[in-house]
Amino acid sequence: MSLEILTSATLSPMRHGFFTRKGGASSGVFEGLNCGNGSSDQSEIVNINRTRVAKALEVASLAGVHQVHSAAVHVVSADTDLSARPEADALVTNVPGIALTVLTADCQPVLFADRYAGVIGAAHAGWRGALDGVLEETIEAMIKLGSKREDIVAVIGPTISQRAYEVGPEFLDTFMMHDRDNARFFGQGTGDRYYFDLPSYGLHRLRNAGIDQAEWIRHCTYSDAARFYSYRRSTHANEADYGRLISAIKM
């Protein structure tokens, strides 16, 4: 089976893709293109999957980070050791030929591009990272590399949608303490439960940061098991582990 790669015209002409789970070598609960070395999948199989992604992007290796749900951004230069995985949740570069990648399984993968300055970025933005400012920090890091804010575009890939993201009152309180206007991103559930709209919140943060061209490609990871891994779906199914989707961009 060939790889399935979702793209957005907004990021053109940068080579990029939000890879689904199709076309991978993994089996069992990881069936498909599991690219997460942090999973309990066989490492040699994960490496086969990652090699397939690198081949699709026409690069020798993939730049990534050890994701910790932070706002930290790693700047990738021409002499960066791509095999190293520093703790961070976003990457930026202005070096042609380097593919920046993030892994997700419900959190938002966000790809950034400034085609005029030749600067790209990739961010892993779960609720914690988005609340703490990983999207804004990625934009600032791109500006330091020569981007202009008005030239940066951003696209949110497959992520969990509001209808599948049930949370408790303490989750709502965390967002309300940050900004009372965040109530708009919560829908009432049963009893004291709410439904959180993560992609709308991500778009709000991007647009407030001055990114006028920002979009979500409108794929829900939880609702489409054939195409996407989902941490929450795996938890609800009492599965021992879950796969990780990869999203990537290069110049």
- Residue 122 contacts residue 109 (beta carbons within 8 Å): yes
- Residue 157 contacts residue 247 (beta carbons within 8 Å): yes
- Which has the closest alpha carbon to 221: 130, 135, 109? 109
Instruction: Report helix angle 198-208 to 134-144, nearest 10.
Output: 40
Q: What percent of the chain has pLDDT over 70?
A: 100
Tokens of 67: 């994701």
| Partners of 155 in the β-ladder | 111, 215
pLDDT in tens, 193-205: 999 999 999 999 9
Under DSSP, the state recorded for 98 is P
Count Cβ atoms below 10 Å from residue 238 Cβ, excluding itself. 6
Three-state SS for 65-96 is CECCCCCCEEEECCCCCCCCCCECCEEEECCC
Q: Which residues, other chains included, contact 248 with Cβ-Cβ below 8 Å and sequence gap of 6+?
A: 16, 17, 19, 53, 57, 62, 99, 100, 101, 111, 122
* Interior angle at CA 104, CA 120 and CA 114, nearest 5: 10
Q: Is 234 a residue whose pLDDT tops 90? A: yes
Mean pLDDT (the chain) is 97
Residue 1's pLDDT is 74
**pTM over the 0.95 mark:** yes
- Residue 70 to residue 37: CA distance in whole angstroms: 19
* Range 47-76 average pLDDT: 97
CATH superfamily placement of domain 5-161+197-250: CNF1/YfiH-like putative cysteine hydrolases (3.60.140.10)
